[in-house]
Chain A
Amino acid sequence: MKMKAEKGAVLIFVLPTLVFLLLVFIYPLFYGVYLSLHSTAAGLRALSFVGLRNYVSVLSSSLFWLGVRNTIVYTVGTVGLTVGFGLAIAVLLNRIRTGVWVYRALLILPLGVSPVVTGMTWQMMFDPLAGIVNHLLTLVGLPTSLWHTGFETAMLSVIIIESWQWIPFPLFIIYAGLQMLPHEPFEAATIDGATIIQQIRYITLPLIAPVLGLATTLRFIGAFRSFDILYVVTKGGPGRATDTLILQAFQESFSFYRFEYGLVVGKIMLLITLGVSVLLVSRVTRGVGTGE
């Protein structure tokens, strides 16, 4: 594009998106900050300015810190499981020559399942009495579990469900990275007598470190904001065993009309997401794995 026409054209091209974001994102964001500095006890129409009191009361409540703890467990658990399994399956898939397209088509399916349906399906499968999972465990002589209905096992259960849904995501990111690796180092290593495990440990992993980082960061963001499965399966229960920050923010606001809590927790989550996104943006603009 020539310089002269450029400025006007750029404006025409970019303006619709910017105006839209201004109305639906930026304005609500600042309006939210404004609301969070007010007491909403009498509803969103009768505000009274309280300064940072809402922030102080949230940050000093044990409920909030329980939410922080649960969010960390949930996020670390699902990131570990999804990236771990994703990596293992990707490495295996990359070593297969025939029928790869069939495996690819089957393995990607969980990404299309609506998370609400995922949650309800696993609820049905995990049902302690009539569920298929306990039935299969009994058949092979293993102990059964209360799964999402038990205080001790609920967190693990929702982590398993979230991981089932999302393993394909890091799997195919890593697979794309593996496909782009050069052949030479592996051929040299094979000639030198390196085992497959040694090749993976000393050649594959260092080479795909950037892709692995991208998959981990994106999964972290995804798990951190995950809502649907938790809401459908446990709603934070039993007790508060799976009550993460986002569930708290949602339920305090829309079930108990304590909007201050949701507003403040929303702002805190925004700050964390912003931090991670800054980390991520360097990777995305560098175009990991595309050679851009």
Chain B
Amino acid sequence: MAAAKHIVMVVICLVTLFPILWILAQSLKGYFDTIAIPPKIVFTPVLDNFVQVLERRGFLQALTDSLLVAAGSSLLGLTLGTPCGYALARVRFRGSESVGFLLLITRMVSPIVIIIPLNRLFAVMGLIDSHIGLIVAHTFINIGIVVWMMRAYFRDIPESLEAAARIDGWSTVGAFWRIALPSAAPGLAATTIFCFLFSWNEFMFALTLTSRSVRTSPVFIAGEFVGYLAVEWGLLSAAGMLIVLPMLIFVVAIQRNLIRGLTMGAVK
């Protein structure tokens, strides 16, 4: 009985992993193997695609742009959202439920809802096609997660330490900064990875708010390898692998918190 369960589970895992294994296989094929009909399952692995993709104009720049935007928006989101999450965890104030709901909405709506006015607004402010503009847009995507996740983490920390600090004459801000924040370090780390992942993979804002000077990797890969007559499958796969691999490591690293974040803290 136990063996049967494991056999079914292994099959499920293989089906789940198949697309990832296939893009890995394609990325390691020589040019003629990638376009072979029928597709080759057994082949001699080569690194040509990876070498070519790294030399391709724009690819390293796209990775750099993605890195800058993801790091920038994670930092901005955490700076703005962590204190808010703390307040929501510790105090019930007038309008606290509305703040929570508003933040939930930002996670639920599609960017399409604000993308046209935001585009116009950014154009007026000179933020179109800039790192700053995309960082702001991605912070909008992440701020709800930051607040709700940090609220959940702060709730797990006993209030007594902060209460003691306040009896010693520390201010609320001091107690937050020196007691609560360090205790929530694991939560901060998980939330940072979370924000980074979402920004790294984000497509719609990147597609509309940036074009020439800034091009993140999803936009790059979606446009670069599809020619008029053919798709460069090998190069595409190698680029895809390089973009996805760090995120796969992140996802495994924050497994439990991933579901917590995606459900806005509703599931531990």
Which A residues are closer than 8 A to B by beta carbons? 1-2, 5-7, 9-10, 12-14, 16-18, 20-21, 24-25, 27-29, 31-32, 35, 44, 89, 92-93, 95-99, 103-118, 120-125, 129-132, 135, 138, 164, 167-169, 172-173, 176-177, 211, 214, 218, 221, 224-225, 227-228, 231-232, 246, 249-250, 253-254, 259, 262-263, 265-267, 269-270, 273-274, 276-277, 280-281, 283-285, 287-290, 292
Contacts and interface: CB of A to CB of B under 8 A. Distances in A.
A288 B266 contact: yes
Nearest to A249: B112
Nearest to A161: B19
Given A13-B87, A17-B103, A122-B19, A176 B39 contact: no
A25 B106 contact: yes
A27 B204 CA distance: 20
B240 A227 contact: no
Interface stretch (B53-61, B183-191, B256-264): B256-264
B50 interface: no
A269 B80 contact: no
24 contacts: A16-B80, A17-B81, A28-B117, A92-B8, A92-B12, A96-B5, A104-B255, A108-B252, A109-B251, A114-B200, A114-B201, A114-B217, A114-B243, A120-B222, A135-B38, A167-B16, A173-B267, A227-B112, A227-B203, A254-B208, A265-B112, A266-B112, A274-B105, A281-B104
A121 B137 CA distance: 27
B37 to A, nearest CB: 5
A32 B116 CA distance: 7
Contacts of B229: none
B255 A105 contact: yes
Contacts of A35: 116-117, 120
Given A106-B16, A250-B204, A273-B109, A214 B267 contact: yes
Contacts of B35: 130
Nearest to A12: B173
Nearest to A130: B37
A89 B11 CA distance: 11
Contacts of A254: 208
Contacts of B90: 1
- The A contact surface, by secondary structure, is helix
Contact of B84 (A16, A172, A211): A16
A18 B266 contact: no
Contact of B20 (A28, A93, A113, A277): A113
Contacts of A168: 16
A114 B5 contact: no
A181 to B, nearest CB: 14
Contacts of A287: 265-266
Interface string B201-218: 101100010000000011
Given A103-B9, A121-B240, A176-B259, A28 B101 contact: no
Interface in B60-119: 79-81, 83-84, 86-88, 90-91, 93, 97, 99-106, 108-110, 112-118
Of the four ranges (under 10, 10 to 19, 20 to 34, 35 or more), the interface on chain B belongs to 35 or more
Given A24-B139, A97-B2, A112-B197, 20 more contacts: A14-B99, A17-B99, A20-B140, A21-B103, A25-B114, A32-B114, A92-B12, A96-B6, A107-B13, A109-B16, A110-B20, A116-B201, A130-B37, A130-B38, A250-B112, A262-B116, A267-B113, A273-B105, A285-B100, A289-B266
A269 B56 CA distance: 39
A267 B231 CA distance: 37
Contact of B240 (A117, A225, A231, A249): A117
B39 A135 contact: yes
A246 B112 CA distance: 7
B114 A20 contact: no
Q: Which of A21, A44, A110, A173 has the most CB of B within 10 A?
A: A21
Contact of A114 (B140, B244, B262): B244
Contacts of B52: none
Given A10-B93, A124-B237, A289-B267, A280 B108 contact: yes
B42 interface: no
A290 B268 CA distance: 6
Contacts of A246: 110, 112
B157 interface: no
Nearest to A131: B39
A111 B200 CA distance: 13
B145 interface: no
A32 B163 CA distance: 45
A10 B87 contact: yes
A9 B173 contact: yes
A95 to B, nearest CB: 6
Given A107-B12, A117-B243, A130-B36, A177 B267 contact: yes
B118 A28 contact: yes
A99 to B, nearest CB: 7
